[in-house]
Amino acid sequence: MNIAFDLMKVTEAAAIEAAKWVGTGRKKAGDGAAVAAMRQAFSTIDLSGRVVIGEGEKDEAPMLYTGEEVGNGRGLAVDIAVDPVEGTNLMALGRPNAIAVLGAAPRGSMYDPGPSFYMKKLVVPKEAAQVVDIDAPVEDNLDNTAKALGKDVRDLVIFVLDKPRHVELIQRIRAKGARVQLHTDGDVAGSLMAVTPGSGVDMMLGTGGTPEGVISACAVVALGGAIFGRLDPKTEEERNTVINYGTDIDKLLTTTDLVDSEKACFVATGISGGTFLAGVENDASGIITHSMVLDGGSGHLCMVRSVHTNTM
């Protein structure tokens, strides 16, 4: 969809505001500033967007809530998934890889996560898409992915969130001889790295946010890798709410289940900087942002350095 570059203005606006809060320890304030900037930027573009993944249900969060219409109402009808600050802890603690992200796809094509918080995920580049199985032992997936990528298992780098729930997973990956790249937060960045050639990451594994899984799927569609997911409720309460919502909790979710359109697009702008996307910088020419713009429709992947000569 050729709205990808318009949508970049939205993540840029969120990143510029969020960057003001990097290292301040104030994740709510930074998140709020990014949400407001994102919403304002949406209103300036030709789009009939409907938020499928937002910052909270109506009444709980005043802006970018699920169901909210965004854009000026004059453009393409799309589903929108946003995370104005993906990695609010990363931002607040001054750690790398906090990013402002957004996915868009033709209206009706995005999976509705409803009240589901947690999803087990496996993300691989396209060469390994056919040889992995999220339900198989991790050792088999490592073997098969190494073969598909033409690498030794010991050269595989697996992105895993550093959470107590992943202790056994990490131990098994290491016992098999592969390397684990541990990150405290930010599995959208991890999923992106897994499908981006040359990022230094070959696979993303483990349980993270369900909304983040759908957002990541937009990028995976555009880049041509694969994401597999299984809802992984962490409490009985979450499990019951998800079932009551009508969700098939046992379904294996493939890339197309998460986003059923080859035209999905995805945009990310760096907030705190990092190995993957540089953060917001200031110099004499203005504010500088770094974004990744993926357009599934045209197959374009653009890395964009923008100079914002007048502050927004």
Burial 85-123 (b: 16+ CB within 10 A, else e): bbbbebbbbebbbbbbbbbbbbbebbbebebbbbbbbbb
Binding-site ranges for Mg ion (CB under 5 A): 83, 86
202's contact among Mg ion, ligand VTB, none, with CB below 5 to 8 A by partner kind, is none
Q: Give the nearer residue to Mg ion in terms of CB position, either 86 or 232.
A: 86
Is beta strand 157-161 parallel, antiparallel or unpaired with respect to 203-209? Answer: parallel
- Closest Cα to residue 156, out of 138, 177, 183? 177
- Tell me the sheet residues that pair with 124: 226
Comparing CB distances to Mg ion, the nearer of 131 and 292 is 292
Nearest distance from C-beta of residue 186 to ligand VTB, angstroms: 5
Nearer to Mg ion, 38 or 142 (CB): 38
Burial class (CB in 10 A: 0-12, 13-18, 19+), 303: exposed
185 is in an annotated binding site: yes
Q: Cβ 177 to ligand VTB, closest distance in Å?
A: 26
CB of 220 to ligand VTB, least distance (A): 14
Place of tokens 């073969």: 147
Residue 20: phi and psi, rounded to 5, are -65, -15
| Closer to ligand VTB by Cβ: residue 110 or 146 | 110
Interface contacts to ligand VTB, rule CB under 6 A: 86-87, 161, 163, 185-188, 208-209, 212
Asked whether residue 65 is marked as a ligand-binding residue, the answer is no
Per the CB < 8 A criterion, the answer to whether 41 and 10 are in contact is yes
Which residues belong to the annotated binding site for Mn(2+)? 31, 55, 83, 86, 212
Which residues belong to the annotated binding site for substrate? 86-88, 118, 163-165, 185-187, 209
